[in-house]
Amino acid sequence: MSLVELSHVVKRFGTNTVLDDVSMTVAPGEIIAVIGRSGSGKSTMLRCINGLEPIQDGRILFDGAVVNDPQTDLRALRQRVGIVFQSYNLFPHLSVEKNITLAPRVVKNMSESEARELAREVLRKVGLEEKIGAYPDQLSGGQQQRVAIARSLAMRPQLMLFDEITSALDPELTGEVLKVLEAMAGDGMTMLLVTHEIGFAKRVASRVVFMHQGRIWEEGTAAETLSAPRTQELETFLSAVLH
Amino acid sequence: MIREFGFIDFMYLLAAARWTVALSGVAFLGGGLVGLLVALMRVTPLAPVRWLATIYVQAVQGTPLLAWLFLFYFGLPLVGLVVNPWIAAATAFAIYAGAFLGDIWRGALAAIPRTQWEAGASLGLSFLDQLRYIIMPQAVRIAIPPTVGFLVQLIKNTSLAAAIGFVELTREAQITNASTFRPMTVFVIVAAIYFAMCFPLTQWSRYLEQRLHVAR
Amino acid sequence: MGYRFNFRDVFAQQDFLLEGLVLTLQLSFVAMALGLLVGVTGAALRLYGPRPVRAVVATYVEAIRNTPLLVQLFLVFFGLPSLGIRLDATTASIIALTVNLGAYATEIVRAGLQAIPRAQIEAGVSLGLSRLQVFRYIVLMPALRVMYPALASQFILLMLATSVVSQISAPDLFHTASIIQSRTFRDFEVYIVVAALYLALALAFRLAFAGLYQVAFARR
Ligand SMILES: Nc1ncnc2c1ncn2[C@@H]1O[C@H](COP(=O)(O)OP(=O)(O)OP(=O)(O)O)[C@@H](O)[C@H]1O
Ligand SMILES: [Mg+2]
């Protein structure tokens, strides 16, 4: 059974149709790279999946629950879906530890000592255990992004959504973040990631989805889709990204 | 009978300043409660609640404080309460300060990027938990300098309570002036007392403001 | 709870209300014009004047901003006569309001002038513009644009604050209330009507200022 299922999803901002009849499925353990030009609706798709944006038509299922049903408990759902943004969005007034433990403490009523142990564990996964007491503005961009990943992991999500999480980083810092993603892939995490790192997508993703003008224009295994595009649009896109 | 302005008059003025402080304190507390409610009403997802709060703020900010003082002074007896400058003044000031503080605090809440709310929502926090753990702590830092600045306005404006016979510093000055007839002396001293109360707060507010900008 | 409202007696005094309204508007406009003049002069002296003058202006601004308008008004109206300067209530009101607004305007104008980045001024100078030309073409409009909203809300605050002149019996809108009150004994209704009139004035001012902004600063 699939973990996520989008069927005929339509999303509009006013009269601007941003997702146009989008259908796809994500099986547990799959790693899907979403690529496409700016404005093609990649971020919007991710935000719809965890209910940050309402949709106008179609249906989104997560683990059997209808995300776009007003009856659905979005808070419960979001605890099982992690999302990491391009701009990190760490809480600047909280230390790294508190950034991570806030949701487990408040949402899951975890004890302080248990939460601290959890913070150490997820920080170890992203290689930042020694930064547990630091504040976000004392960290580099790459470190902040890894903390953001750790913060999501602390909720023990079944699905992780990544929205261009390396776009604001230098190549060097990008590398350290991608390494964390590869490790998570090795752990069997289901991931949907919007990225411009084609090489990384080829190496890690099981499937690639190319979005164009709010539609899924082309999709397939990473190896095939990226080395032998079937549409002119994907070919143009790839040559632009790869210079 | 006219008598000389003496040291004792100065002491009376100084003593009257404590009612200025007391009224300012009560107004700030009452206004703070109202203001908190107003600020929260203005960030809720419910549109009618937001409008209600907006109308309140606009109405108060569009009318003179003196009008509120008189409205409560003459209005409270109509609902069976005795004419009491304390109650009338405290109510009027709470209404007045609530609108201004509510506006200041709403601005501070609005200054926190939407992405902070979203990050909280994505972690499964409820609206109130997002507000409490993520938005409020950041907004408070932004809100403190203008809040202290408003406190200065409030202290100065308590002088208007003299108009409904509330004996604070300005009213005491009028009384002293009537018996000593030394307006220059009396009002300069009174101005100096207000200055002594307000200037440190003004400076503090400025210092906090600067520190906030440096920290960014 | 058996109170019966009676607004008819109050509205019967509309001539009075109108007279008061007119004086309130006159006071507001005169104080705005003079206060702005003081503000521009004050800001210029505060920024570009000789050191002692700068200190004097700074002291003026702090003294005014940290004391109540009502006390300033009493000083002018009751205090100055003891120095041999006699003033009627309206003149005293205009002086106090102008001095008061002038201090706030000084700060607003100063902040507006300082908001223009030095680099822009230097860019102008390096293009060979004279000091006056730099001011006219580079500093003036952006600075006005920065000041405008603050000045507009200060003006509205001033218009509402003119009500304190009723405390020295200058016959403004607010003072009218106490006269009508003594004739009709309709205290509560009088103040409701007067408050509503101020609210209408404040809204009208805000609309007018917003319109003026469009005319003056809308990007073409
Ligand atoms: N909150 C919003 N209100 C109105 N329009 C929006 C909003 N968010 C996104 N859009 C529009 O939706 C379209 C798709 O935006 P989206 O952010 O999903 O694109 P994207 O593929 O993620 O692009 P990028 O690579 O630049 O991040 C764009 O045309 C954008 O202008
Ligand atoms: Mg995007």
Write the pLDDT tens digit of every residue in B109-150. 999 999 999 999 999 999 999 999 999 999 999 999 999 999
Q: How many Å lie between the alpha carbon of C82 and the closest alpha carbon of chain B?
A: 7
Question: What whole-number distance in Å separates Cα of residue A91 and Cα of residue A98?
Answer: 9
For testing the chain C interface, which of B63, B153, B199 should be mutated: the one with the most C CBs within 10 Å? B63
Domain total of chain B: 1
Residue C47 in domain = yes
> What is the average pLDDT across C27-42?
96
Residue B2 in domain = no
Residue B216 in domain = no
Domain total of chain C: 1
Lowest-pLDDT range, A129-133, A209-213, C133-137, C161-165? C133-137
What are the tokens at B90?
């405290």
Question: What whole-number distance in Å separates Cα of residue B7 and Cα of residue B4?
Answer: 10
- pLDDT computed for residue B2 by the predictor: 66
- pLDDT computed for residue C186 by the predictor: 78
Ligand 1 atom with the smallest distance to the CA of A214 is: 14
- pLDDT computed for residue C125 by the predictor: 85
C206 contacts on B by Cβ (under 8 Å): 62
CATH class for the region spanning A4-90+158-242:
alpha beta
- pLDDT computed for residue B132 by the predictor: 94
Residue C138 in domain = yes
B145-158 pLDDT, tens digit each? 999 999 999 999 99
Task: Indicate whether C5 pLDDT > 80.
Answer: no
Taking CA–CA distances from B129, the nearest residue in chain A reads: A106
What is the band of B1 on the pLDDT scale with cuts at 50, 70, 90? low
- pLDDT computed for residue B78 by the predictor: 80
Residue B1 in domain = no
Query: Helices B85-110 & B7-41, crossing angle to 10 degrees?
Result: 50
Ligand 1 proximity of A13 Cβ (cutoff 6 Å): yes
What is the band of C219 on the pLDDT scale with cuts at 50, 70, 90? low
Domain around B71: 7-211
Is the ipTM value over 0.95, yes or no? no
Domain-wise residue ranges, chain A: 4-90+158-242
Q: Residue C90 is part of a domain; what is its CATH number?
A: 1.10.3720.10
- Cβ(B208)–Cβ(B150) under 8 Å? no
Residue C37 in domain = yes
Ligand 1 proximity of A39 Cβ (cutoff 6 Å): yes
> What is the average pLDDT across C73-86?
92
Question: What whole-number distance in Å separates Cα of residue A149 and Cα of residue A143?
Answer: 10
What are the tokens at C64?
């005014």
Q: Residue B60 is part of a domain; what is its CATH number?
A: 1.10.3720.10
Residue C180 in domain = yes
Q: Which residues contact B182 (CB under 8 A, 6 or more apart)?
A: B5, C82
Report mean pLDDT in 10-residue bins for chain A, 243 residues.
92 94 94 93 94 94 91 90 93 96 94 95 93 94 94 95 90 89 91 91 92 94 90 91 74
What is the band of B175 on the pLDDT scale with cuts at 50, 70, 90? very high
Chains that touch B (3 or more CB pairs under 8 A): A, C
- Cβ(B198)–Cβ(B157) under 8 Å? no
What is the band of B99 on the pLDDT scale with cuts at 50, 70, 90? very high
- pLDDT computed for residue B135 by the predictor: 96
Residue C214 in domain = yes
Contact at CB, C81 and B156, closer than 8 angstroms: no
B184-210 pLDDT, tens digit each? 999 999 999 999 999 999 999 999 988
Tell me if chain A has a CB within 8 Å of the CB of B66.
no
Ligand 1 proximity of A42 Cβ (cutoff 6 Å): yes
- pLDDT computed for residue A42 by the predictor: 95
Q: Which residues contact A126 (CB under 8 A, 6 or more apart)?
A: A146, A147, A149, A150, A153, A180
B·C CB contacts under 8 A: 113
A·B CB contacts under 8 A: 53
